[in-house]
Amino acid sequence: MSARLFALAVGFVALLTLPYWMQGIYYINVASQILFYAIFALALNVLVGYAGLVSLGHAGLFGVTAYATGYMLQLGFNHPVSLLVALLVSLVSMAIFAVLSLRSTGIGFIMITLALGEILWGLAYRWISLTGGDNGLSLKTRPEPFGYSLSDVNAFYYATLITFLISLAAMAVFVRSPLGAALMGTRDQPRRMNALGYHVWAIRFWACMFSGLLTSVSAVLFVYYTQFISPQTLALTSSAEVLLMVISGGAGTLLGPIVGATLVVAVKTVVSGYIERWNFLLGAIFVAIVILMPEGLVPGTVRLWRLMWRKRESGAIKGGVGAKP
Amino acid sequence: MTALTVSALTKSFGGLHVTRNVNLNVEPGERRLIIGPNGAGKTTLFNLITGELTPDSGSIKLFDHDITKVPSRRRAHLGMARTYQIITLFGRDTILHNVTLALLGLSPARWNPLIDLKRQGHFVEHAQTALEKVGLGHLANRPLAQTSYGERRRVEIAMALTQNPKVLLLDEPFAGLSIDERRDVHQLLLEIPRDVTIVMIEHNMDVALEFAERITLLHFGEVIVEGSRAEVVADPRTREVYLGH
């Protein structure tokens, strides 16, 4: 346990001081990207990991928030109003999404979310008067909360970090809560949960809404980061990418999606500068993870770590017995 | 007043009539045994009573309150609990967590996303007490995956009992148990207070007959014989259909 706490403390301090030891604006920007994609992965993990519902349409919801923010700003509203409206629109979209897809679970759920995601992508592509079609929407400015302009790389990083930490804390609280326990119950034994008096559908619905909220939060950071949104963001590949973050890191764990997001974003941005066929590399990494640690990087590492310690401990005991004359 | 009244209940899957015009009156505190050959519709009857299946026609009353249209999750809140023929538990969690989930199911706190469940002392204590009662107190923190079949049966029963049911439906509680385990579960069932009405499906005649006061014999979805233990056992139709000669 103390090893875990120590690792978390080191990670926290490293994140907090990142702009001081990380050389170059580029890498600080990569760190910001990792953090908001980590929030997105946390959001999807609520469904994939804790509810047992695999969504392939989350990039569509992500896009709804991003477009709503961009569109409101283009209409001339200020940042807080645009953000509020965007969040509201996203939550309503999520509710509709949930009502439609929760008619089913398993493969059915995947297919419905996939279809809904594709519909949103199609709308982004074709509803040119609203979305600008293939040209997308550009955001002229980033907001300036409390007088700190987020156009500054470090300021944007810290804003993202704070949002990330709040999201992570919210996840940690949720997972330990009765509602979290109920959600995991519906994942493992929905029939039994129903017989015990739980409203399985409603529990799943609220899980979708929580997931939707975190998705919107990450999308807002994304759209302010890139200051641009195009249909590409809503494509199926984006949904699949986040799903891979969750699964490679470890679905149903708190830290897994964060590790997964780090891996994917690092390969996509940094490694792609050195290796032209980075997609191939990412694929190879995923194959390796699936073969070596099918439960994901975080649970897999914990397993290996425990195995190592147990070996060492049993070795020590043997040594101790031998040393006793 | 009866604890459980089933009137003219009918259910068919396509052309297969699984439940045909079944009537059942179970008095408060009664121990009722439902027997019948495989495929007689016993478990289907349970699924209809608990609301997991919707009947084609007929009605179900719990203490004179019509629950035919009440969704199954609400029936748990009205005092109905069940166990499953095939053990249906939360394999990733500890025994204690399994029982805690049963307690939480009837508490408004189940909607709370902000408090720490493990720190809710009353839930944990209550669950622990329930486990002591079924003789599993010392295993409370063991993961369910590391327990025996007989222990799991008792966890199922403990979960049902912690919900303080008025009517308890047991679907083959002795199935698959060793002689020792059977004795433990039997003892456990005998200790359930009389304010709980029990309806039980069971094939193990030696334990079940001793437990039951009244017996209902189902065959092809129909009630063939019903009466006191002695009446049903003596009835020639029981021998014909079920017990054998």
Q: How confident is the model at residue B52 (pLDDT cuts 50, 70, 90)?
A: very high
Flag whether B20 is in a domain.
Answer: yes
Q: Which residues contact B3 (CB under 8 A, 6 or more apart)?
A: B26, B27, B28, B29, B30, B62, B63, B166, B167, B197
Flag whether B57 is in a domain.
Answer: yes
Q: How far is CA A226 from CA A36, A141, A233, B239, in A?
A: 12, 11, 11, 80
The model's pLDDT over A85-119, given as tens digits with 9 standing for 90+, comes to 999 999 999 999 999 999 999 999 999 999 999 99
Flag whether B85 is in a domain.
Answer: no
Query: What is the pLDDT averaged over residues A198-226?
Result: 96
Residue A44 confidence (pLDDT) above 80: yes
A177–B116 C-beta distance less than 8 A: yes
Q: Which residues contact A57 (CB under 8 A, 6 or more apart)?
A: A97, A101, A112, A113, A114, A115, A116, A117, A118, A120, A239
Residue B228 confidence (pLDDT) above 80: yes
A181–B97 C-beta distance less than 8 A: yes
Percent of chain B with pLDDT over 90: 66
Q: pTM of the prediction?
A: 0.91
A200 reaches B (C-beta below 8 A): yes
- Give the separation between CA A245 and CA A49, rounded to whole angstroms: 12
Q: Identify the pLDDT of residue A27.
A: 92
User: Hey, what's the torsion of the CAs at B40, B46, B48, B50, to 10 degrees?
Assistant: 180
Flag whether B146 is in a domain.
Answer: yes
- The ipTM value here is 0.91
B74–A179 C-beta distance less than 8 A: no
Identify any residues that bridge with B219 across adjacent strands, giving them in sequence order: B222
Percent of chain A with pLDDT over 70: 95
Three-state helix/strand/coil letters over B128-184:
HHHHHHCCCHHHCCCEHHHCCHHHHHHHHHHHHHHCCCCEEEEECCCCCCCHHHHHH
B186 reaches A (C-beta below 8 A): no
A182 reaches B (C-beta below 8 A): yes
Percent of chain A with pLDDT over 90: 70
Contacts with A207 from chain B: Cβ below 8 Å? none
- Give the separation between CA A111 and CA A123, rounded to whole angstroms: 18
Q: Identify the pLDDT of residue A325.
A: 36
Contact A269, A26 (CB under 8 A): no
Write out the residue range of the structural domain in which residue B111 sits: 90-164
Query: Domain with B239 in it: what CATH number?
Result: 3.40.50.300
Percent of chain B with pLDDT over 70: 99
Flag whether B84 is in a domain.
Answer: no
- Give the separation between CA A116 and CA B133, rounded to whole angstroms: 50
Query: What is the pLDDT averaged over residues A273-284?
Result: 87
Report which residue type is found at A67. Answer: Y
The model's pLDDT over B133-192, given as tens digits with 9 standing for 90+, comes to 888 999 999 999 999 988 999 999 999 999 999 999 999 999 888 888 888 889 889 999
The class that CATH gives domain A17-275 is mainly alpha
Claim to verify: residue B59 and residue B180 sit in the same structural domain: yes
Lowest mean pLDDT among A7-11, A199-203, A315-319, B238-242: A315-319
Claim to verify: residue B176 and residue B60 sit in the same structural domain: yes
Kindly give the pairing relationship between strand B57-62 and strand B16-26. unpaired
Identify any residues that bridge with A78 across adjacent strands, giving them in sequence order: none
Query: What are the structural domain ranges in chain A?
Result: 17-275
Contacts with A46 from chain B: Cβ below 8 Å? none
Claim to verify: residue B4 and residue B51 sit in the same structural domain: yes
Q: Identify the pLDDT of residue A161.
A: 96
Looking at residue B240, the DSSP 8-state letter turns out to be I
Residue of B nearest to A176 (CA): B116
Count the neighbouring beta carbons within 10 Å of the beta carbon of residue A323: 7
Contact B186, B102 (CB under 8 A): no
Query: What is the pLDDT averaged over residues A291-313?
Result: 86
Residue A321 confidence (pLDDT) above 50: no
Q: Identify the pLDDT of residue A324.
A: 37
Number of domains in chain B: 2
Claim to verify: residue B61 and residue B9 sit in the same structural domain: yes
Residue A45 confidence (pLDDT) above 90: yes
